[in-house]
A and B are shown apart, each in its own frame.
Chain A
């Protein structure tokens, strides 16, 4: 070892101030990297936990079906329209199960809250806890860098910590056992979600599946019912708005026909008349878009045929 030049032990071969400054900058960069790794680990935990919260809320709400909660929640057009505009096609009105919507909301809140909570914890200390070879040293280096210290001992500390960081790993920031346990919970909750959806478990006194278009008709056929009640009130059919022009060329026969007929023609002789106007009309029902019960239609048909048969027999 060289003999000291002064009483304070300054040596000719010691690091220059520039070298110490570079060491401090390297240390600052390393600490920034440690913090970044800590944020990534926080995000991993937050995402996994948020998925658990989402699934749990969905399963519980689907199973309990609380009376105050609608079964389906319509997605507002304010949401669908921008998405439709983004993808270049119109998205029809959507409705999602209320349990899923609440789950997404809770999961999102959880994700945000847990991530914020975790990144507000000292990330360097978390890294130290996961890597014993830099315990105490890393946060000392962090504080020393923040103080701007460039002493010989600080430079030595930076070198020690940088060497220690080479042997450390950020994967230790994530507790693999905890993560694995959470993933198992996610799988179980996913299975429970499927089970609840298929079996339609309802723990409260409420129909397991309800739709917005309430159908009060019983599933079993109970005889003839009032047609108006089923099909709704009849309305006058409005005229169609689309005008079509058709040209019919006729061929055949000995005599050549040299006439073309356009529809609608200017002849307003009425329907059936060659000169009458043909207004296209579209029949429709303004009532509920109910799907007729096949059994009911069949019953009507059978009754009508039976009446007809009876009439024929009577004659």
Chain B
């Protein structure tokens, strides 16, 4: 089988996986695409949505169709870092007592960190460090996290009491910020029918292995991009630092994230090159959590997405 056939086969498998997820998740095509882009780009996503919009189901379904190990962390103010990363415990063995590292819930391929802004900054930092370094250090020992590793952290935009908002420096570590909106009437009716009649949950088939996901992540890194498109991505990010309506612009990490996710989107769409459409589609998810809107623009009701859209024009 030639290299091209390999790539074609992987792209077909990803399309199959996407289709499988679509059988369980109604609507939300854009969010689902961005979620897959984030996984293929070997990044992590921050998801903002109101409760009850199916984000847990979405992540569980992604894990189900890709044979990835899934875990969920419900963040609370009393959650300790070791509750996430794991801790050393004393275990009785035939040869006596010994310290054994008990892995925390972060040791999974797909981790759903629910309501991350409810955890204390110390716990948040431990989680984000694990996310960034792809490893956990406990009792002087470093433990590699399984690969692929993907964290989907959620924030509830409504209830802000008793929360610890993620600082800008921390949110910058998330490759994408996804916004989940309410479904339209037809979609909501389908969701109701799907979940209140027949089987408890729509079955999905496993169509992508974790090894294949690793292979795709490598291919995404090799995805060619035209110089002018790369420059366009970099210039877009740089303009966020110069725009009057933006108090703080995005970092070079945003430039890297924009190019990398554009490559992943191109692969997801079965292409072998990046287009300007990829850059435009991912500009808002990459930049919306990395820029701070100026108070004057905010007073006029302009959001980060509005400003990114104006920068794209």
Contact = CB atoms under 8 A, between A and B. Distances in A.
Q: Give the interface SS of chain B, mostly helix, strand, loop or mixed.
A: helix
Given A9-B216, A160-B273, 5 more contacts: A9-B10, A13-B3, A14-B2, A15-B4, A159-B4
Interface string B206-243: 00000110111011001111111100000000000000
Interface in A126-160: 135-137, 139-144, 149, 151-157, 159-160
Nearest to B275: A136
Given A9-B212, A9-B214, A143 B224 contact: yes
A4 B211 contact: yes
B7 interface: yes
Nearest to B13: A1
Interface string A100-139: 0000000000000000000000000000000000011101
B225 A153 contact: no
Contacts of B9: 1
Contacts of A312: none
A143 B6 contact: no
Contact of A11 (B3, B147, B214, B222): B3
Interface residues of A, number: 30
- Residue of B6, B228, B229 with most partner-chain A CB within 10 A: B6
Interface of B: 1-7, 9-10, 147, 211-212, 214-216, 218-219, 222-229, 271-276
A70 B211 CA distance: 84
25 contacts: A1-B1, A1-B6, A4-B211, A8-B218, A9-B6, A9-B211, A9-B212, A9-B215, A9-B218, A15-B4, A136-B226, A139-B228, A140-B224, A140-B225, A140-B273, A143-B227, A152-B6, A152-B7, A153-B219, A153-B223, A154-B224, A155-B4, A156-B4, A157-B224, A157-B273
Contacts of B1: 1-2, 11, 13-14
B226 A140 contact: yes
Given A143-B226, A149-B224, A136 B2 contact: no
A254 interface: no
Contacts of B216: 9
Nearest to A124: B226
